[in-house]
A and B are shown apart, each in its own frame.
Chain A
Amino acid sequence: MPMQNEGKMDDVILATRNLTKRFGDLVAVDKVNMDVKRGSFSVLFGPNGAGKTTWVNVVTGYLKKDGGRVLFNGRDISDLSASETYRLGLARSFQIPRIFPRLTVLENILIAENENPGEGFFKAPIRASWEKVEKETVERAFKILEIVGLEDRWDALGGELSGGDAKLLDVGKALMSGAKMLLIDEPIAGVSPSLAHTILQRLRSIMKMQGVTILIIEHRLDIALRYVDYAYAMAGGRIIAEGEPSKVIKAPEVIESYLGEKYRIK
């Protein structure tokens, strides 16, 4: 398999070096070396318990690593918290969309902007101190809503959205933050095939139009592999194959990890 890190380090937006995470005796992430190319649309897949979500949690600061390093834009972010990582431009979404059910769709997007002076305890009661910024933010939010196709539903409550729309809103939140890279956990899980295609098409156009690097974690490879440029296969906490999606899916290690020893291609 061709290794992506054969290229220049400048081309790499996110890299992990010997990244390790243990839960007692279980090694969930085992010395993972991974390079994600800037401006790419990639998928990380693997059977249940492969360590994909744990890897995302460690990379984004939700879990503390037990070894190795995480580099984002050339900077070591291994020991940063989730909020610090986010502020640097590495945003994530969760397997189950984390939508604020009692806020409107527009407000869900606006929350992602964290430079609003109106969030200060002294400035909040003085409307004049935040009104201008708020208006500019609302304009930007509508542009994002248009990208994710939710502009007509701006005043619906987050809790009223369908599963697919909630996932798109989750992506919208990440885009609103001005993220340079999105880690999206199972964007098409539990949605109909047609909506799954729509979501991935939108993600791809976001990647192209906004220049955002996107890495999705996904099980539904029949759909996902049609849209991504690069694939990483993970099993037992290790990257077992990576490269062009059509080749990775046929790799013996990948088939074995999904189907077991007897299906191994001799």
Chain B
Amino acid sequence: MVFPGIDFFLVLIIYIMIFLIITLSYNLAYGYTGIPDFGRAMAAGAGGFLCGYLPGRLMAYLMGIKEDYLGNVLIIVDKINVVLEKDPLMSIGLLVLTLILGAAAGGILGLIASLPLFRGIRLFYLGVTLLAIQISFNTIVYHWEPIIRGEFGVPIPDPFKWLGHYCPPNVAPSFMRLMGVIITSGIVLAITAYYCISVSRSPLGRLLKAIRDDERSVEALGRDVRKIYVKVMTVSYALTGMAGVLFAFYQRYVIGLNFDKVAWTFWPIAMVILGGLANNKGTVIGTIVFITLKRFIMFYKADLEFILPFSPVWLEGILLGTLLMAMLIYRPRGLFPETPEIPLSREEIEKLRKRT
């Protein structure tokens, strides 16, 4: 049996961080607000496919390349990478700009996808509608070649290439690149985690939980609940959009089959359920456990071929599906069930109580 090397663990960290951005933002929408969102993959796809569409074309325009972009995409992206390799500022600028635009694309998609709420659609049906919109979204990207050449996909300019160019002689460029992805993902994850955790411990978090428990009652208390749903979807999809950008940049290639509903919608739901709804700590643990297990199963798949009575291709789904079912039966509230998160500390509240 082969033990995984350092690259395996670096990639594992990248996957964990990217999926943590998704699950924390998903927890905001589903765990805290109760929106049954079955369309999460399109939020990641908005960022990921935008990454395949925009940065390459933008760079080609800036470099004065007049050739048909999609027809010569491999050569053009190679030329772009040569420039990016020697220009850290340009690379960082491209990375930051794409992240911002990815967040905007995700946010706009979240806003549009939740608009049926204003037509009086009920929350459960919104969940189903989101699933339908997501399938349509993926079908369009897969079949409409002018976006990213559908099933053939496109290479993406690499904003981390300069790290390999400037790395010390005894360090592998690929290692430096992975470190670049990790640091960038870490920054985006820190922003996401800060936002989601702060919100959960704020008056807004309290309001979101109240809406989840009884939206009609919150309406009776003077809030426009539909507007709040739309805002949550916009913010949550924007954060997930950045995760899509990070994944696409990490892969350096995006195809129409990426960001499918199983890996990018259903697995994140499973991670959040595993950890515990409306509990950010649970979401973090659930995601780490789930991704680690998944990556190890994938790594040892070939070794298991001779032991298992079935193809190891199915092992990942069987194990994770069984784990999820067991969780729902024995610990339906997850590894870390929801606990009250009060904006002010207990001591502060007692002090205020005494004062009154």
Residue numbers of A with Cβ under 8 A of B are 60, 62, 82-84, 86-87, 91-92, 94, 98, 100-104, 106-107, 110-112, 114, 116, 118-121, 124-127, 130-131, 134-135, 138-139, 142-143, 146, 151, 154-155, 157, 173, 177
B:70-110 near A, CB below 8 Å: none
Are B352 and A142 in contact (CB-based, < 8 A)?
A: yes
Are A135 and B202 in contact (CB-based, < 8 A)?
A: no
Assuming the contacts A118-B202, A135-B344, asked whether A106 and B220 have C-beta atoms less than 8 A apart, the reply is no
Choice from B214, B217, B340, B352 contacting A138 with Cβ under 8 Å:
B352
11 A-B pairs within 8 Å (CB atoms) are namely: A60-B220, A92-B220, A98-B216, A100-B213, A106-B349, A121-B235, A127-B202, A130-B202, A130-B203, A134-B344, A143-B356
Q: How far is the CA of A127 from the CA of B209 in the complex (A)?
A: 19
Distance in angstroms from B324 CB to nearest chain A CB is 23
Q: Does B11 contact A (CB under 8 A)?
A: no
Q: Does B206 contact A (CB under 8 A)?
A: yes
With A60-B220, A118-B203, A124-B204 known, 12 other A-B pairs at CB within 8 A are A92-B220, A100-B213, A106-B342, A106-B349, A111-B210, A119-B204, A124-B199, A124-B205, A130-B343, A138-B349, A142-B352, A157-B340
- Residues in A whose Cβ lies below 8 Å from that of B338: 102
Q: Does B165 contact A (CB under 8 A)?
A: no
> Count of B residues near A, CB < 8 Å?
37
Are A83 and B224 in contact (CB-based, < 8 A)?
A: yes
Distance in angstroms from A59 CB to nearest chain B CB is 13
Are B194 and A154 in contact (CB-based, < 8 A)?
A: no
Distance in angstroms from B225 CB to nearest chain A CB is 8
- Residues in A whose Cβ lies below 8 Å from that of B355: 139
Q: How far is the CA of A110 from the CA of B202 in the complex (A)?
A: 12
Assuming the contacts A98-B214, A127-B202, A135-B344, asked whether A119 and B222 have C-beta atoms less than 8 A apart, the reply is no
- Residues in B whose Cβ lies below 8 Å from that of A119: 202-204, 207
Give A112's nearest chain B residue, CB to CB. B221
Residue numbers of B with Cβ under 8 A of A are 194-195, 198-199, 202-207, 209-210, 213-214, 216-224, 231, 235, 338, 340, 342-344, 346, 348-349, 352-353, 355-356
- Residues in A whose Cβ lies below 8 Å from that of B222: 83-84, 86-87, 114, 177
Q: Which of A84, A87, A138, A143 has the most B CB atoms < 10 Å from its CB?
A: A138
Are A154 and B356 in contact (CB-based, < 8 A)?
A: no
- Residues in A whose Cβ lies below 8 Å from that of B204: 118-121, 124
- Residues in B whose Cβ lies below 8 Å from that of A131: 344
- Residues in A whose Cβ lies below 8 Å from that of B218: 111
Are B220 and A124 in contact (CB-based, < 8 A)?
A: no
Are A107 and B199 in contact (CB-based, < 8 A)?
A: no
Are B353 and A154 in contact (CB-based, < 8 A)?
A: yes
- Residues in B whose Cβ lies below 8 Å from that of A102: 209, 213, 338, 340
Are A114 and B223 in contact (CB-based, < 8 A)?
A: yes
> How many CB-defined contacts (below 8 Å) exist between A and B?
115
Distance in angstroms from A175 CB to nearest chain B CB is 12
Q: How far is the CA of A134 from the CA of B206 in the complex (A)?
A: 12
Give B200's nearest chain A residue, CB to CB. A124
Q: How far is the CA of A83 from the CA of B227 in the complex (A)?
A: 12
Q: How far is the CA of A173 from the CA of B231 in the complex (A)?
A: 25
Q: Which of A110, A124, A127, A142 has the most B CB atoms < 10 Å from its CB?
A: A124
Q: Which of A94, A120, A135, A143 has the most B CB atoms < 10 Å from its CB?
A: A135
- Residues in B whose Cβ lies below 8 Å from that of A104: 340, 342
Are B220 and A110 in contact (CB-based, < 8 A)?
A: no
Are B206 and A103 in contact (CB-based, < 8 A)?
A: yes
Q: How far is the CA of A101 from the CA of B212 in the complex (A)?
A: 11
Q: Which of B194, B220, B349 has the most A CB atoms < 10 Å from its CB?
A: B220
Q: How far is the CA of A98 from the CA of B211 in the complex (A)?
A: 12
Choice from A103, A114, A125, A173 contacting B199 with Cβ under 8 Å:
A125
Q: How far is the CA of A78 from the CA of B343 in the complex (A)?
A: 37
Q: How far is the CA of A62 from the CA of B219 in the complex (A)?
A: 10
Give B224's nearest chain A residue, CB to CB. A83
Give A107's nearest chain B residue, CB to CB. B206
Q: 10 closest pairs, A vs B, by CB? A: A118-B203, A98-B217, A125-B198, A124-B204, A86-B222, A124-B202, A142-B356, A100-B213, A116-B203, A114-B222
Q: How far is the CA of A102 from the CA of B217 in the complex (A)?
A: 14
Are B352 and A125 in contact (CB-based, < 8 A)?
A: no
Distance in angstroms from A209 CB to nearest chain B CB is 15
Q: How far is the CA of A105 from the CA of B125 in the complex (A)?
A: 31
Are A100 and B219 in contact (CB-based, < 8 A)?
A: no
- Residues in A whose Cβ lies below 8 Å from that of B343: 118, 130, 134
Distance in angstroms from A188 CB to nearest chain B CB is 20
Give A91's nearest chain B residue, CB to CB. B220
Give B349's nearest chain A residue, CB to CB. A138
Choice from A86, A138, A146 contacting B220 with Cβ under 8 Å:
A86
Q: How far is the CA of A124 from the CA of B207 in the complex (A)?
A: 11
Are B209 and A100 in contact (CB-based, < 8 A)?
A: yes
